Amino acid sequence: TQLLEQSPQFLSIQEGENLTVYCNSSSVFSSLQWYRQEPGEGPVLLVTVVTGGEVKKLKRLTFQFGDARKDSSLHITAAQPGDTGLYLCAGANSGNTGKLIFGQGTTLQVKP
Amino acid sequence: DAGITQSPRYKITETGRQVTLMCHQTWSHSYMFWYRQDLGHGLRLIYYSAAADITDKGEVPDGYVVSRSKTENFPLTLESATRSQTSVYFCASIEGTGTEAFFGQGTRLTVV
């Protein structure tokens, strides 16, 4: 069974601080995605990383895929209250079945 | 309108009753998924489907049944609802392995 462990599960910080969220597994994934979810809505894709060691940037968000394609991180620089939400990592099964599994999520609160 | 829709948005049912949650997508995506979301557990995969008439169990399939007679529909049935199945249920679809997952707005199910 493939599992994705996210840490931390909860994070409360002040505006302007930096933070990193981790997504770890003992399994290899063909790709890894990060989603953000607002209350009452479904998750929305932020980024997909495919190549081991890949780094992608989305404004103040930096995503990295581990060299072995087993882990990923999301770093937010100078967090803003608008970054508040639930962040989820998701791994695509390397067996090409389409199966997509999610981590437990990280709830981020950024205080003004 | 193009997209993925779930119905109903809210449902209250009694223990032991059968209830069906509906999911419809207009893109003809091959893959569809059902997840449940509970505090502290992120999104847990219940069942998924790679194509019409092809379904497979996810992490937490017990007590649920799915079918996929048409590509665009993927209903989820709780055969005999239990209080532990009180949750928010999300349906999602993807075009191919590792591509963006599109989610419905969720169904909040309460079993009393």
What DSSP string runs through B18-84?
Answer: -EEEEEEESS--SEEEEEEEETTTEEEEEEEEEETTEEEE-S--TTEEE--SSTTB--EEESS--GG
Reduced to 3 states, what is the DSSP secondary structure of residue A30?
strand
User: With contacts defined as CB-CB under 8 Å, which chain A residues touch B10?
Assistant: none
* A5-111 fold: Immunoglobulin-like (2.60.40)
State whether residue A50 sits within 8 Å of chain B by CB: yes
**In the structure encoding, which two tokens stand for residue B98, read together?**
């590792």
What Rg, from alpha-carbon coordinates, does chain A have?
Answer: 13
Query: How many residues are listed for chain A in this entry?
Result: 112
For residue A96, what pLDDT band results from cuts at 50, 70 and 90? low
pLDDT digits (tens, 9 = 90+) for B2-11: 699 999 999 9
State whether residue A46 sits within 8 Å of chain B by CB: no
pLDDT at A47: 96
> HSE (CB half, 13 Å, CA atoms) of B74?
34
- Average pLDDT of the residues in A76-90: 96
pLDDT at A68: 92
User: With contacts defined as CB-CB under 8 Å, which chain B residues touch A43?
Assistant: 43, 90, 101, 103
Count CB-CB contacts under 10 A for residue A64.
Answer: 18
The CATH number covering residue B36 comes to 2.60.40.10
Q: Is the pLDDT of residue B104 over 90?
A: yes
Number of domains chain B contains: 1
Size of interface A-B (CB pairs under 8 A): 77
pLDDT digits (tens, 9 = 90+) for B66-92: 999 999 999 999 999 999 999 999 999
Domains of chain A by residue range: 5-111
Looking at the partner chain, which of B35, B45, B98 has a beta carbon nearest the beta carbon of A92? Answer: B98
pLDDT at A95: 66
Q: What is the mean pLDDT of chain B?
A: 94
